[in-house]
Amino acid sequence: MLAALAVLTAVLLAFHRLVPNVPGHLGSLLESFLPWSGLVIVALLGLALLRRSALALVALLLPVAAWTYLFGGLLLPGRKPGGQDLVVVQHNISDENTDPAGTARALADAEPDLIDLEELVPAALPVYERTLAPRYPYHAVVGTVGLWSKHPLTDVQRLDIRPSGITEPWSRGLRAMVRTPHREIAVYVAHLPSVRVHASGLASSWRDESADLLAKAVAADTSRTVILLGDFNSTVDDRGLTPLTSQLNVPARGFAFSFPAAFALARIDQIMARSATVGHIRTLPPTASDHLPVIARIRPMLATRRHRASIG
């Protein structure tokens, strides 16, 4: 039985893309928590040692190999900072945040080049503007998302990623050009629709539609280097983000589980890039939000390549 469970775990890891998404987006649900399969492997190892089962121990080599292939690289140390690196912070600050000034100071204290925020509400916006202004003189806000920068911003545009099923006013995307000392970079900030977990599975149709709209906008962008930041309500392993992860690099090191802040189970706050590598990603200390901030270094490069792959 233990050997069979080990083989099943390995199959789910190696061929998670074959798990059907109908009904209930079960494939996406599995992929959202795929890294946690390591705990299943540890539990099976403990039972195999307890029962002294040589067959189970041998069988466990399969899921260990699959997990290491998928996620082992994320455990390696990050590279040394480079002269052209951009440090970026992504944070869903929560529309119920009771300490916007403290949140803004905490993010600025990390000294990133760029800070992007989601769930900006009109009452809190002046506080963020006032608190961040001394160190971030350039900013742009569209709807409930905003971008603060140490470098000049130009060509700020509203990004329409609203799913067709949402009829009320809804503005959660922007694009801006950031004029860094080395080059101009297109930066996108987006907040994709929320998902809900029900007994029947994952309700993610609006999020998936919004991700597809965002991916089309990024694909059509003629800028050489693109940075995409936001709360995507999805992990990079979730096939719902495939339109984005198929054309953008994702973090090469670090798990940085960001939600929920009280006991983070998944990183749904994302930092991606085109024609640039995203190095080690990590979380910052908690703020008054239900998300943890995430921070990463981005290094522009001459050619685009992927840094993560999935078996199957």
Q: What is the pLDDT of residues 124-159, one digit of tens each?
A: 999 999 999 999 999 999 999 999 999 999 999 999
Is the pLDDT assigned to residue 193 strictly greater than 90?
yes
Contact 31, 239 (CB under 8 A): yes
Peptide bond between residue 260 and the one before it cis (omega within 30 degrees of 0): yes
198 confidence band (pLDDT: 50, 70, 90)? low
**Residue 168 burial by Cβ neighbours in a 10 Å radius (0-12, 13-18, 19+):** exposed
Looking at residue 267, what DSSP letter applies?
Answer: -
Give the per-residue pLDDT at 210: 97
Residues 50-93 have pLDDT tens digits of 999 999 999 999 999 999 999 999 998 877 777 789 999 999 99
**Residue 70 burial by Cβ neighbours in a 10 Å radius (0-12, 13-18, 19+):** buried
Give the per-residue pLDDT at 14: 94
- For the domain made up of 86-300, the CATH class stated in words is alpha beta
For residue 303, give both structure tokens.
């050619």
